[in-house]
A and B are shown apart, each in its own frame.
Chain A
Amino acid sequence: MSSKLAAYGERHAQVLFGALGRIAQQPFSTAMIVGVIGIALALPLYLGLLIQNARQASGSWTEALDLTVYLDTNIPEAGARALADQIKTRDDIAAVKLVTADEALQEFRDKSGFGPALDVLKENPLPNVIVVTPTLAASAADGAQGLQRALTGISGVANVQLDTAWVKRFHAMLDVLHRLTVMAAAILVTGVVLVVGNTIRLDILNRRNEIEVMKLVGGTDGFARRPFLYSGALYGLGGGVLALCLVALAERLLNGPLQHLTSLYGSSFRLSGLGLSLGFATVAGSAVLGWLGSWIAATRHIRGIEPT
């Protein structure tokens, strides 16, 4: 039994080296197919990394979220100050900043260019405003909304505005992009299977005689198919490694300019890469795709080759 198993392993090793040898004999066509697979897989990886990094970057924006608490206009400045102090005592608040109605009007006068028009107003229409910065723990979307409800309930508070709309829109955009990436990946992955299948099909036609002879001496379809499965898996493996190289290259090229860009915004953003497990999954998945493509082609075409 063990000798049979050893013979089986030996045969597979032989077939593997045979496939490697044939691949080495055709460097140009091998480079072509490996290139096609590598580029096809690199594209969705690029998009995926783009989304991953955009999520991370926007995540830190969400953390810096502020709530704007508009007070009733009949609350005087002293009352506003008291309310601000009261809000500050909550444990989910990191900081509060009171913007009085007078300060707000002054700022509006300075910045809007409506100075003379505002003089017409008999009294200040603006309310006192408290800008509330929640703690990090409380600034996740749900926490921020809970805080918004709690603050709205305080008497003297007219309205609490949570400026998450644009973050939500941004995330919705990322979701669309993510969906697009998944679709592109599905299409390109199918393309990889088809390209490998077609290459293997041509390979089989070129070696028709050999397959006929194998069948004549009692070789099964599975036996004739095996070297093609190895070729397909090797093509896939090579394509997966190439895709990783392309992604690593893009990271290298982008990291410097990106760091410069984000430093101009006073942020210390770091491009995050594929990581070990996703990198491994890419190579392994690519090999499986190559194997699958060749399995489909080889099963179909080898069956059709019979000695005459």
Chain B
Amino acid sequence: MIRFDQVHKRYASGRQALAGLSFDVAAGEMAFLTGPSGAGKSTILKLIALIERPSRGQVFVADRNTAAVGRPHIPQFRRQMGVVFQDHKLLQDRPVLDNVALPLIVAGVPRREIEKRVRAALDQVGLLGKERNRPLELSAGEQQRVGIARAVVAKPPLLIADEPTGNLDPGLALEIMRLFKRFNDVGVTVVIATHDLHLIDAVGARRIRLADGQLAA
């Protein structure tokens, strides 16, 4: 599903984030990216979502070289993945329903179907009945689950998450990780950047260790 081939990434600021990184994540696999801050975890996710482009090397997503995805095709490219952020990136002035529906709306799904699928996604993350609430009326854990519902509502084959438990207490964090595990159980490829090592053990999945933009020895 994901293949990094000798990927270098140097930001405009001069910071070298990745230095010749190569790894694979198979379709249906669940993998954690770990390592100290600045090891390149976030950069990897940004390269997968085409938020950034590699300076050198190649990134393949779903057997497709991302270098061949031009700007006009980025929206379509991003629709094959769900992205979860540490800060949720929810629209605070919109109800939960609208937030979760956004990927379906941009893809042109008919309204009738949208509500059905939003409800299904909210049911999966245990937030059924909160459709009309604003994100700020929800707890931190609930907000993160809204973010996850938004990431999975369009049933993408790939789910990527950047520190999804960073702001949560351990109990909630474990709950969120189990949620990801459940999506992986039904065939979704999941890649999560985290520094919560004990959570990885609790969920039990492959771990990709990074240090200084390379695989750690």
Chain B residues contacting A308 (CB-CB under 8 Å) are: 51
The A contact surface, by secondary structure, is: helix
Q: How many A-B residue pairs have CB under 8 A?
A: 58
Q: Which of B111-159 contact A (CB under 8 A)?
A: 111, 150
Contacts A11-B105, A307-B51 known; A217 to B110 CB distance under 8 Å?
no
Quick check: A10 and B110 within 8 Å, CB to CB? yes
Contact A216 B49, CB 8 Å, known A209-B91, A210-B91: yes
**B18-26, B75-83, B172-180, B185-193: which lies at the interface:** B75-83
Asked if residues B89 and A213 are in contact (CB atoms below 8 Å), the reply is yes
Cα separation A7 to B75 with both chains bound (whole Å): 19
In the complex, the answer to whether B51 meets A217 with C-beta atoms within 8 Å is no
A3 contacts partner chain B, Cβ-Cβ < 8 Å:
yes
Measured between C-beta atoms, what is the minimum distance from A207 to chain B in Å? 9
Q: Does B109 have its Cβ within 8 Å of any Cβ on chain A?
A: yes
Asked if A214 and B106 sit within 8 Å, CB to CB, the answer is: yes
Q: Which of A39-47, A123-131, A218-226 contacts B (4 or more CB under 8 A)?
A: A218-226
**Given A4-B108, A216-B89, A219-B106; 12 other pairs, CB 8 A cutoff:** A3-B110, A6-B110, A209-B89, A213-B102, A214-B106, A216-B83, A217-B79, A218-B103, A218-B107, A219-B102, A307-B49, A308-B51
Q: How many residues of chain A have a CB within 8 Å of chain B?
A: 23
Q: With A and B bound together, what is the CA distance between A234 and B74 in angstroms?
A: 30
B interface, size bucket? 20 to 34
Chain A residues close to B by CB (< 8 Å): 3-4, 6-8, 10-11, 14, 209-210, 212-220, 223, 306-308
* CB proximity to A under 8 Å, residues B39-73: 49, 51
Query: Digit string of B86-98 for contact with A (CB within 8 Å is 1, else 0)?
Result: 0001110000000
Whether the pair A306, B78 counts as a contact (CB closer than 8 A) is no
Give the complex CA separation of A8 and B107 in angstroms. Answer: 11
* Contacts known (A210-B91, A213-B102); A220 close to B75, Cβ less than 8 A: yes
Q: How far is the CA of A167 from the CA of B90 in the complex (A)?
A: 70
**A–B Cβ pairs within 8 angstroms, 22 of them:** A3-B110, A6-B110, A7-B111, A10-B110, A10-B111, A11-B105, A14-B111, A209-B91, A213-B89, A213-B91, A214-B102, A214-B106, A217-B78, A217-B106, A218-B77, A218-B103, A219-B75, A219-B102, A220-B75, A220-B106, A307-B49, A308-B51
Structural contact, B51 and A11, CB atoms closer than 8 A: no
Which chain A residue shows the least CB distance to B76?
Answer: A218
Partner of B108, one of A11, A14, A215: A11
Instruction: List the A side residues contacting B105 at CB < 8 Å.
Output: 11
Q: Roughly how many angstroms separate A231 CA and B103 CA in the complex, as a whole number? A: 23
List chain B residues, Cβ under 8 A from A307.
Answer: 49, 51
Q: Which residue of B lies closest to A220 (CB)?
A: B75
CB distance from B49 to the nearest CB of A (A): 7
Q: Which residue of A lies closest to B83 (CB)?
A: A216
Determine the residue in chain A with the shortest Cβ distance to B77: A218
Q: How far is the CB of B35 from the nearest CB of chain A, in Å?
A: 21
Q: How far is the CA of A218 from the CA of B50 in the complex (A)?
A: 11
The smallest beta-carbon distance between B123 and chain A, in angstroms, is 20
By Cβ-Cβ distance, the 7 closest A-B pairs, closest first, are A218-B79, A219-B106, A7-B110, A217-B103, A218-B78, A220-B75, A218-B75
B181 to chain A, nearest CB (A): 23
Residues of chain B lying within 8 A (CB to CB) of residue A218: 75-79, 103, 106-107
Residues of B within 8 A of A14 (CB): 111
Q: What's the nearest-Cβ distance from chain A to residue B184, in Å?
A: 21
Neighbouring A residues of B103 by C-beta, 8 Å: 217-218
CB closest residue in chain B, given A7? B110
B83: A residues at CB distance < 8 A:
216-217
Residues of A within 8 A of B102 (CB): 213-214, 217, 219
| A-side contacts of B90, CB under 8 Å | 213
A7–B83 Cα distance when bound, in Å, is: 25
What's the Cα separation between A214 and B89 when bound, in Å? 10
Taking CB atoms, residues of chain B closer than 8 Å to A6 are 110
Q: How far is the CB of B172 from chain A (nearest CB, A)?
A: 23
Smallest Cβ-Cβ distance to B82: which chain A residue = A217
Given contact pairs A216-B78, A220-B75, A8 touches B108 in the complex (Cβ within 8 A): yes
Chain B residue with Cβ nearest A216? B83
How far is A54 from B109 in the complex, measured between Cα atoms in Å? 58
Of chain B, the residue at the smallest CB distance from A15 is B105
| B160, chain A: closest CB distance, angstroms | 11
Smallest CB separation, B52 vs chain A (Å): 9
Q: What's the Cα separation between A307 and B79 when bound, in Å?
A: 15
Nearest neighbor of A13 in chain B, beta-carbon distance: B111
* Min CB–CB distance A211 → chain B (angstroms): 10
Nearest neighbor of A303 in chain B, beta-carbon distance: B71
CA–CA, A212 and B78, complex, Å: 13
A residues in contact with B91, CB < 8 Å: 209-210, 213
Task: A212 to B109: give the CA distance in the assembly, Å.
Answer: 20
